[in-house]
């Protein structure tokens, strides 16, 4: 499948208890619907061929035989279906009855996976009818074939690299050590869970948390299909909850009490990359496992999976505020510890009226509060020069006044002009030297002022700028402690917005909102008719695109082609393919050539799983070749 995506479905068919003919027709109808959507792995509920609530009817020979006949129909119906299909039924072997999942591919039953844990509480009376399959391994005759049976079955295909499928049944995921642990250690990347657990208050949330937790700690995909409301309601109601998870994230979830297929796309390539990176468990080759091949075509399909345009920022607004506060607290606590260790009582920050210096200033203010210092011990220095606009200059002043910091202004025009004279730099030549001389002069002023008062220079540069190398080497690139270095531009904007929304001073909120609305600019070139002339996103492209590229390249090691594909999915209504491709080219070139700046970054707190610190983030040689080809 293209870029490692595998379309999967958790399916709850309409069933009637002990009516095998009806149930089989319902299952086959759902198989056909899934096949039309190019689903390659389909999971049906536990005991769906008979219904899970037959109780003592499971002891009736007629029902057991009918279930096998029903499986034969499903088997032959699937002959031309390009998918791996899992259905549940009771199966007799050597005088015992087992609750099994039958794994079918293109008209063949590849194996039977028995349930191992039989409960006797609540709605669970499994051991009254079924034997545990924990010890069973071998073969069983079915429809003229000898079919493998056991919990030690793995299913793999050559057409999808790294796709290895295993099953666990019913409430087995709730065990302290689930069967999926051994499956994953033996190489499984996708766990299928046919289940039939009733609805009681809180259980839907428990299942959701279980799928998220298992897929996260085992670094795998997880598909769970629950028995639906057609089951008997003599004592309990069944909700048909369907869940699809991957690496700790719920990709899709059905509403309760419905029928049909829940479809999403598992990224097998991502799972494999995560396992290489994290090594959360020690994989082993277990000779007790039987690996059974299956075949599915390799084909491209449209994704049924959502990709956020802002992967660094939670999508649900209900949790976004908590995440912004968590990041802000990490920044403040990191700066607090550094102040205590260095024994400093003054914090200096260059404040421009832009987003990055605003966030760093807010962090400095609250760090002073944590340290029991006066807010006047935060010295905010604005250093206007050729490109400073009236809007940003005024916002810097208003912000400092509203929060009670010490405000100082040092106009650096004369110093920079003197420097131009020293190095024979024409004022009319607006090149890198023209721009960088201003940035380095500002850093020199801050460092010298910090020496005067025994203070600490707080850095303002963010993760997006570091990724693009959009910083002056030994200029704004340098500080004594950088609080924004692990935070992308889109996240900086979101934190400042969160702060504006929660602060209790209208004048502070007003200036913060105006800063958010101000175009991002280093303001190193003279304004045009009083307006900012140098707009970063017009030069480099939208930061939300660059942050998207950064996340998927550094976090998962995806190829440029896959990153472009995902960007087209996420931004299909915002940007055309030509712009995405152009911006990705810019990002890759600048990321590769600007590593030398990232190799000597000041200290600063990590806040997420994507970082570029040379001490604990993404580490690469400054002179590496073009590995992005």
Average pLDDT over residues 533-538: 79
Is the domain of 88 the same as that of 162?
yes
Is the domain of 384 the same as that of 332?
yes
In the chain, the number of structural domains is 2
Q: Please tell me the least confidently modeled range out of 532-546, 555-569, 579-593.
A: 532-546
Question: Does position 628 have pLDDT exceeding 90, yes or no?
Answer: no
Average pLDDT over residues 562-577: 94
CB 508 within 8 A of CB 493: no
- The pLDDT tens digits for 301-322 are 788 889 999 999 977 665 688 8
What per-residue confidence (pLDDT) applies to 150? 95
Question: Does position 283 have pLDDT exceeding 60, yes or no?
Answer: no
The SS3 assignment for 573 reads coil
- The pLDDT tens digits for 476-506 are 999 999 999 999 999 999 999 999 999 888 8
CB 462 within 8 A of CB 356: yes
The SS3 assignment for 168 reads coil
Cite the beta strand spans of 372-430 per DSSP E. Answer: 378-382, 406-409
Average pLDDT over residues 217-243: 94
What per-residue confidence (pLDDT) applies to 288? 83
Question: Does position 14 have pLDDT exceeding 90, yes or no?
Answer: yes
Question: Does position 137 have pLDDT exceeding 80, yes or no?
Answer: yes
Question: Does position 281 have pLDDT exceeding 70, yes or no?
Answer: no
What per-residue confidence (pLDDT) applies to 135? 84
Is the domain of 229 the same as that of 355?
no
The SS3 assignment for 606 reads coil
What per-residue confidence (pLDDT) applies to 179? 92
User: With bands split at pLDDT 50, 70 and 90, how would you rate the model's confidence at 126?
Assistant: confident
Is the domain of 334 the same as that of 286?
no
Query: Residue 503: inside a domain, yes or no?
Result: yes
What per-residue confidence (pLDDT) applies to 562? 95
Which residues are registered as beta bridge partners of 249? 246
User: With bands split at pLDDT 50, 70 and 90, how would you rate the model's confidence at 533?
Assistant: low
Question: Does position 120 have pLDDT exceeding 80, yes or no?
Answer: no
CB 108 within 8 A of CB 142: no
Is the domain of 201 the same as that of 349?
no
Q: Select the more confidently predicted residue: 147 or 118.
A: 147
- The pLDDT tens digits for 613-627 are 999 889 999 888 888
Query: Residue 349: inside a domain, yes or no?
Result: yes
Q: What is the CATH number of the domain that holds 208?
A: 3.60.110.10
**Predicted structure pTM score:** 0.90
Q: Distance between CA 476 and CA 442 in Å, rounded?
A: 8
Is the domain of 336 the same as that of 472?
yes
- The pLDDT tens digits for 538-567 are 889 999 999 999 999 999 999 999 999 999
Residue-number span of the structural domain to which 250 is assigned:
2-293
Q: What is the CATH number of the domain that holds 476?
A: 3.40.50.620
Query: Residue 612: inside a domain, yes or no?
Result: no
Is the domain of 282 the same as that of 329?
no
What per-residue confidence (pLDDT) applies to 531? 72
Is the domain of 173 the same as that of 285?
yes
Is the domain of 288 the same as that of 425?
no
Query: Residue 398: inside a domain, yes or no?
Result: yes
Average pLDDT over residues 50-64: 93
Query: Residue 169: inside a domain, yes or no?
Result: yes
Question: Does position 371 have pLDDT exceeding 90, yes or no?
Answer: yes
Q: What percent of the chain has pLDDT over 90?
A: 79
Q: Which of residues 505, 520, 536 is at a domain's end?
A: 536
Query: Residue 565: inside a domain, yes or no?
Result: no
Q: What percent of the chain has pLDDT over 70?
A: 97
Instruction: Report the Cα 189 to chain-centroid distance in Å.
Output: 17
Question: Does position 124 have pLDDT exceeding 90, yes or no?
Answer: no
Question: Does position 114 have pLDDT exceeding 90, yes or no?
Answer: yes
Query: Residue 14: inside a domain, yes or no?
Result: yes
CA angle 74, 80, 81 (to 5 degrees): 70
What per-residue confidence (pLDDT) applies to 280? 58
Query: Residue 552: inside a domain, yes or no?
Result: no
Return the closest-CA partner of residue 459 out of 361, 344, 379, 373: 361
Radius of gyration of the chain (CA): 30
DSSP state of 526: -
Q: Distance between CA 574 and CA 562 in Å, rounded?
A: 19
Q: Which of residues 260, 293, 326 is at a domain's end?
A: 293
Is the domain of 241 the same as that of 325?
no
Q: Which of residues 509, 536, 563 is at a domain's end?
A: 536
What per-residue confidence (pLDDT) applies to 528? 75
Question: Does position 285 have pLDDT exceeding 60, yes or no?
Answer: no
Q: Helices marked H in 2-98 — which ranges?
A: 20-36, 61-77
Q: Please tell me the least confidently modeled range out of 62-76, 123-137, 372-386, 415-429.
A: 123-137
What per-residue confidence (pLDDT) applies to 286? 62
Question: Does position 277 have pLDDT exceeding 90, yes or no?
Answer: no
Q: Please tell me the least confidently modeled range out of 9-23, 59-73, 510-524, 543-557.
A: 510-524
Average pLDDT over residues 276-298: 78
Question: Does position 71 have pLDDT exceeding 90, yes or no?
Answer: yes
Q: Which residues of 108-130 are buried (b: 16+ CB within 10 A; e: fewer)?
A: bbbbbbbbbbbeeeebbebeebb
Neighbours of 29 (CB within 10 A): 13
103: enclosing H helix or E strand: strand 96-105
What per-residue confidence (pLDDT) applies to 315? 73
Is the domain of 334 the same as that of 426?
yes
Parallel, antiparallel or unpaired: strands 260-267 and 290-293: unpaired
Is the domain of 385 the same as that of 502?
yes
Tokens read off for 415: 């110093």
Which residues are registered as beta bridge partners of 163? none
What per-residue confidence (pLDDT) applies to 530? 67
Terminus-to-terminus CA distance in the chain, angstroms? Answer: 21
């Amino acid at each position: 499948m293209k870029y490692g995506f595998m379309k999967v479905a958790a399916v709850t068919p309409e069933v009637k208890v002990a009516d095998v003919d009806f149930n089989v027709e319902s299952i086959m109808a759902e198989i056909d619907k899934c096949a039309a959507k190019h689903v390659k792995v389909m999971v049906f509920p536990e005991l769906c061929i008979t219904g899970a609530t037959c109780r003592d009817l499971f002891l009736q020979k007629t029902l057991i035989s009918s279930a096998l006949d029903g499986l034969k129909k499903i088997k032959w119906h699937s002959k031309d279906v390009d998918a791996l299909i899992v259905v549940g039924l009771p199966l007799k072997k050597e005088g015992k009855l087992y609750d099994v999942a039958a794994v079918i591919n293109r008209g063949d039953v590849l194996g039977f996976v028995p349930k191992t844990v039989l409960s006797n509480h609540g709605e669970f009376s499994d051991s009254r009818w079924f034997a545990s399959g924990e010890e069973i391994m071998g073969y069983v005759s079915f429809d003229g074939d000898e079919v493998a049976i056991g919990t030690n079955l793995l299913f793999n295909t050559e057409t999808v690299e790294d796709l290895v499928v295993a099953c666990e049944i019913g409430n087995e995921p709730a065990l302290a050590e689930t069967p999926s642990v051994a499956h994953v250690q033996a190489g499984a990347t996708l766990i299928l869970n046919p289940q039939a657990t009733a609805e009681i208050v809180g259980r839907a949330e428990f299942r959701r948390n279980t799928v998220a937790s298992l897929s996260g700690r085992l670094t795998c995909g997880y598909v769970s299909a629950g028995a639906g409301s057609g089951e008997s309601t003599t004592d309990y109601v069944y909700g048909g909850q369907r869940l699809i998870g991957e690496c700790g994230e719920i990709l899709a979830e059905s509403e309760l009490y419905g029928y049909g297929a829940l479809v999403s796309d598992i990224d097998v390539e991502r799972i494999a990359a995560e396992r290489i990176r994290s090594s959360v468990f020690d994989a082993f080759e277990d000779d007790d496992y039987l690996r059974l091949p299956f075949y599915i075509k390799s084909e491209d399909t449209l994704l049924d999976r959502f990709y956020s345009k802002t992967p660094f920022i939670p999508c649900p607004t209900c949790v976004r505020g908590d995440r912004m506060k968590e990041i802000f607290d990490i920044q403040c606590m990191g700066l607090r510890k550094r102040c205590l260790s260095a024994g400093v009582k003054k914090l200096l920050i260059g404040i421009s009226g832009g987003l990055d210096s605003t966030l760093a200033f807010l962090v400095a203010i609250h760090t002073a509060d944590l340290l029991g210092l006066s807010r006047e011990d935060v010295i905010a220095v604005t250093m206007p020069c050729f490109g400073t606009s009236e809007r940003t200059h005024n916002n810097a002043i208003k912000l400092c006044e509203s929060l009670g910091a010490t405000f100082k202004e040092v106009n650096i025009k004369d110093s920079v002009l003197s420097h131009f004279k020293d190095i024979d730099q024409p004022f009319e030549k607006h090149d890198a030297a023209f721009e960088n001389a201003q940035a380095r002069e500002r850093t020199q002023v801050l460092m010298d002022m910090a020496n005067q008062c025994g203070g600490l220079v707080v850095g303002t540069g963010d993760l997006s700028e570091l990724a693009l190398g959009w910083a002056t080497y030994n200029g704004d690139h340098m500080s004594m402690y950088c609080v924004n270095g692990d935070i992308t531009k889109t996240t900086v904007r979101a934190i400042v917005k969160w702060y504006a929304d929660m602060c209790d001073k209208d004048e502070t909120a007003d200036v913060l909102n105006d800063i958010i609305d101000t175009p991002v600019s280093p303001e190193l070139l003279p304004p045009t008719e009083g307006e900012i002339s140098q707009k970063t996103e017009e030069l480099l492209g939208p930061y939300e695109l660059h942050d998207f590229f950064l996340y998927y390249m550094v976090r998962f090691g995806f190829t440029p082609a896959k990153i472009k594909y995902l960007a087209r999915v996420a931004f299909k209504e915002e940007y055309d393919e030509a712009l995405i491709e152009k911006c990705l080219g810019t990002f890759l070139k600048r990321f590769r050539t600007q590593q030398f700046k990232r190799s000597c970054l000041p200290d600063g707190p990590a806040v997420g799983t994507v970082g570029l610190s040379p001490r604990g983030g993404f580490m690469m040689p400054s002179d590496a070749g073009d590995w992005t080809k």
